Structure 1
């Protein structure tokens, strides 16, 4: 039996079509075969986490059981003692939820590159789902918690490895109902479009940029021994490969979700058309960006303002921008280039807000037309590509030969 990385092999889609067809027929006629959906989910999870890497499958099962019980315990506490919403209980629940991810992230740093035995593909995205569920349970937004449904939410196979990051309430609302025949046909039509666009992005454009162009230009850059125009070329080619590969994967995940009657949120919305860095983060990896905005940035702003840590709201927002993006950088890894990537984007968000305030104050003096918009897009695009060059780690290899500091 062949084992697959989700959407990494065109033959994976043959299995998908064969498995989803009965479910799609049922949805077309107004029935969601939940038992069958569970079976095909387990089948594709085995395709991904079985075989030579069966240890990751065991880690996944143990992780899901642990998190389902943890959220159940916190939900039980909130339902039984709704008036006693103690902060330390909430903090403990969040710490326990992210503890496995922290262990997985720091293990390579403390054990000379060795991977943690509790790690598996997609642990970060499942952790985001768990944490947001705990936070919304504390806020009273989620009142009814069903362990089986929560496990279905975590193990929804189209999005398990790299998102998009759905919200528990939104997912359950789709899962518990069957769309009308007209709505389902519209979903299938969208799903087909997303799948075809995903093939264009991932198997054609990402192949051209990542497999054909990138190795050659990387070799030329390394042979030039130091900074050269090849590095600039690498910057743009890597940025295009990163976008088309990840956006293609996300389109596949959203398209397959549509076939299953689930409206998984989109992850990319023409990010390179952004006129400033804030708009970029509203278009790039949107479910991750919005997760960090809602569950780190906004809550940190509220905490600092409540305790009057800073007198100025502007200072508060600026500090939170930096912290938020640094956390995102650390989440990608503990290397200097991930951390610098996050820091630069935090500084860019601070600068962007300052510019928007200045622009609003001097609106009559600052021209705004198609030309200025194109200039703004050009500046934003090149800044993003430069930070992607840092993110790639190529500069570490080029100038420091990958040495650890």
Structure 2
């Protein structure tokens, strides 16, 4: 059955092939015309999104498509049941139970390769992490009382919004719903179309030119030289660090620009995911510029709540200890989210400790280095240091050290 579908229906992976954009834009024209005249063609938009999602999961990805359908029904049931319970009673234990049930499929998908020789889980599919963030965020906002209603069809529409289904950016239900229900006026929509075209061109430059150069041309040669050097640390390893870091940025930033651009064509102002992260003067600023939707999700739904919970129980005497512990735990969780592998976990710990040190340095500078004024030179030095701290973390994240240091063992 899978082979038959693979031969009759093309499998189109999001934003990986220029012809994918041709199909996207051609079939989006009725939506664009409708929005230009102040109307949202909801039925056509539903068919449009569903068709492209089907094309993502045909052929050898048919099993992933089935897993996606089952997953969506699972989240609909979990979020719907919690909303029904929350409208009657607000129990912390039940909240944690439903949150755990919402996370359970993702937990199984992440744990399976670690337990079964890197074999992927049969319930995994492209985008499960980002859909889980959307569902869990919905449950947390219901718990907080800021999300009072639950409409299954609206929640489904939010979960499977086609431009961002596979790799984000991570949107929030209330912001998405407000955009969807309020059609932009003509001038605003024309401005969105202008931005969409610009983001598409920048995205092509990032993903199909710069990402290709760093990831497919420069990086393989640097890795070969590093492996041939015969030492764990070498100059070619430094090239691997730079090339992989730039590849990671241009590939993901390019994808995110595509997702935002197509969202704008559909009248939805999906939030931007990157804001010139390599201009950051410290690690905290970096996380306000890098993968913004993910870092803000962790900040709002994990970090702040951990700090509040620890302060409520008065676990520490010094107020600064709360944020330090929360930084480490928050980034460790992010590391585990990427995968249950030592280099992902070390990546999370690295950034957690880095954020803790960053805060300590800022406090020390305010007390003892008041004479150190901020100027172009100190800012340039801070940017260079932060850039290399981040690039080293990307080298860890790449997993290449695992290949280099443990080859032949």
1:143 aligns to 2:151 (yes or no): no
Q: CA deviation digits over 1:5-28, x for unaligned, max 9?
A: 100111100110111111000000
CA distance in 1, matches of 2:151, 2:193: 28
Residue 193 of structure 1 corresponds to 198
CA RMSD of aligned residues (A): 1.0
1:204 aligns to 2:204 (yes or no): no
Q: CA deviation digits over 1:18-54, x for unaligned, max 9?
A: 1111100000001100000000101110111122210
Decide which of 234, 246, 253 is 2:240's aligned counterpart: 234
Decide which of 203, 227, 252 is 1:222's aligned counterpart: 227
CA distance in 2, matches of 1:402, 1:36: 56
Residue 65 of structure 2 corresponds to 57
CA distance in 2, matches of 1:197, 1:358: 40
CA distance in 1, matches of 2:101, 2:110: 15
CA distance in 2, matches of 1:243, 1:223: 27
1:22 aligns to 2:30 (yes or no): yes
1:292 aligns to 2:294 (yes or no): no
The runs of at least 4 aligned residues of structure 1 exceeding 4 Å deviation read none
CA distance in 2, matches of 1:328, 1:51: 32
Residue 162 of structure 1 corresponds to 167
Q: CA deviation digits over 1:344-384, x for unaligned, max 9?
A: 10111011101111122235322321000000000000010
Q: For structure 2, list consecutive stretches of 5 or more residues without a partner in the other structure.
A: 1-8
CA distance in 2, matches of 1:195, 1:22: 19
Equivalent residue runs for 1:74-85 within 5 Å = 74-79=82-87, 81=88, 84-85=89-90
1:225 alignment partner, SS class: coil
* 8 Å CA contact retained: 1:396, 1:402: no
Decide which of 28, 35, 46 is 1:38's aligned counterpart: 46
Q: CA deviation at 1:311?
A: 2.1
Equivalent residue runs for 1:189-338 within 5 Å = 189-226=194-231, 227-338=233-344
Q: CA deviation digits over 1:320-360, x for unaligned, max 9?
A: 10000000111111111111111110111011101111122
CA distance in 1, matches of 2:291, 2:401: 24
CA distance in 2, matches of 1:347, 1:296: 17
CA distance in 2, matches of 1:275, 1:18: 42
Equivalent residue runs for 1:393-404 within 5 Å = 393-401=399-407
TM-score (norm 2): 0.96
CA distance in 2, matches of 1:90, 1:305: 21
* 8 Å CA contact retained: 1:254, 1:263: yes
* 8 Å CA contact retained: 2:114, 2:341: no
CA distance in 2, matches of 1:231, 1:115: 30
1:5 alignment partner, SS class: coil
Residue 112 of structure 2 corresponds to 107
Higher alpha-carbon deviation: 280-289 or 212-221: 212-221
1:376 aligns to 2:376 (yes or no): no
1:119 aligns to 2:124 (yes or no): yes
Q: CA deviation digits over 1:294-337, x for unaligned, max 9?
A: 11101111111111112222111111100000001111111111
Higher alpha-carbon deviation: 69-78 or 87-96: 69-78
Decide which of 4, 7, 11 is 2:15's aligned counterpart: 7
Q: How many residues align?
A: 400
Q: CA deviation digits over 1:200-225, x for unaligned, max 9?
A: 10001101111111111111111112
* 8 Å CA contact retained: 2:303, 2:327: yes
Residue 5 of structure 2 corresponds to none
Summarize the Cα distance change of 1:359–1:223 in structure 2 as closer, same or farther, 3 Å threshold.
same
* 8 Å CA contact retained: 1:7, 1:249: yes
Decide which of 135, 139, 144 is 1:130's aligned counterpart: 135
* 8 Å CA contact retained: 1:225, 1:398: no
Q: For structure 1, list consecutive stretches of 5 or more residues without a partner in the other structure.
A: none
CA distance in 2, matches of 1:54, 1:197: 32
